[in-house]
Structure 1
Amino acid sequence: MTTSTQPLLKLLRRIEHGLDAIIQPVVFVSMAALIGVITLQIVSRVLFTAVGWTEEVARFLLVWITFLAGTLAFQRGRHIAVTFAVDALPGRLRQAARITALLIVLAFMIALIFIGYRYMQVQSFQKSASLRLSMTYVYAVMPICAAIIAWYSLVDIIELLVNGKTTQAQEEPL
């Protein structure tokens, strides 16, 4: 690594860690809220009259948790991957294959940003059944998480080009 690119990579890693430091507690609190809402739903159905909004809140929380946790899994290299073919390649070819894969991910995430944003706009007039919440807030997670994963991909591509490898979290086997 050259000394001129080292400050840039440090900045990119700091931003990655900053995003991680925000997303991780949000997922944790959302999981706790999901457990609380589902418990309330079960208790209210058994002991009292069912609370109508609990099912809707649980569904929305699950959607947000799924996307946000997916970004964390991507950042840590924990998504399911078949790497035996890439791992068997010689050094330069392995690096080219990883960069190609990350470019495909980046292109897909950029497309998902635009598709998700358009979908948010289409659903902006729809309100949820019991909370009367604009569905824009529910679907906003799609372009947000796609943008975060696109950022992570871009950082990984830069690291592969500069160092020849990504951060340690990406290199650890499952």
Structure 2
Amino acid sequence: MTDKKSSRAVRCLDKTIKTGIVFMMIAIASLTFYQVVIRYGFNRSSSWSEEAIRFIFIWCSFLTIAMGVREKLHIGINIIVSLFSERLQKIIEIVGYIAIMLFSGNLVYYGWGVVMSTRSQTSPALGIPMSWIYLSVPVMGAIILFYCIIEIMNTKNELRLLGKGR
């Protein structure tokens, strides 16, 4: 796959995830409003909407974590790294992504085990398989793995350009 096609695929994935997050946030806000109106306006409770909000929030949170990795929005300690040369900073960045990949690989592996072991369980109010909810963990891990691979490739290209500049 060429870089242009690769970057188009990455942009498509980014846009899909971001659009999904927006729709999930709208769903959470709408269902929360519905729940408040039902509870305080009609003095009834809605167990299904509470469960739906919780499940949508789980998926939304995990997809947002993956986008945080993509956008480099997570907390980092740059004060020490900034003392090193630009080349060494890039190497440290790659090592950081490898560490994230190891963690994400565990999320995929063990998360899939949880998905498989919860296939027969259903949620009390919605009656959907709990494995769909737990699937958010390995999906997040896989997306983070993908983004880390992309970032490592980009950082290696930057390292190569730094080497040619000497």
Q: TM-score, normalised by structure 1?
A: 0.86
Q: Which moved more, 1:13-22 or 1:54-63?
A: 13-22
Q: 2:81 maps to what in 1?
A: 86
How far, CA to CA, are the matches of 1:50 and 1:10 in structure 2? 52
Q: Does 1:99 align with 2:120?
A: no
Q: What letter is aligned with 2:53? A: A
**One-letter amino acid of the structure 1 residue matched with residue 3 of structure 2:** L
Partners of 1:8 and 1:83 lie apart in 2 by 33
Structure with more relative contact order (C-alpha pairs < 8 Å, separation 6 or more): 1
The AA in structure 1 aligned to 2:141 is A
| 1:35 alignment counterpart | 29
Cα separation, 2, equivalents of 1:106 and 1:93: 20
* Structure 1 partner of 2:116: 121
How far apart, CA to CA, are the structure 2 residues paired with 1:144 and 1:55?
Answer: 23
Match of 2:18 in 1: 24
Instruction: Report 1:9-158 matches (<5 A).
Output: 9-48=3-42, 49-158=44-153
Aligned CA-pair RMSD: 1.5
Gaps of 5+ in 2: 161-166
For the 8 Å contact 1:12–1:155, the answer to whether it is kept is no
Quote how far apart the aligned CAs of 1:86 are.
1.3
Give, in angstroms, the shift of residue 74 of structure 1. Answer: 1.2
The 1-side partners of 2:149 and 2:5 are apart by 13
Identity %: 25
Q: Aligned with 1:100: secondary structure?
A: helix
* TM-score, normalised with respect to structure 2: 0.90
Partner letter of residue 47 of structure 1? Answer: G
SS of match in other structure, 1:50: coil
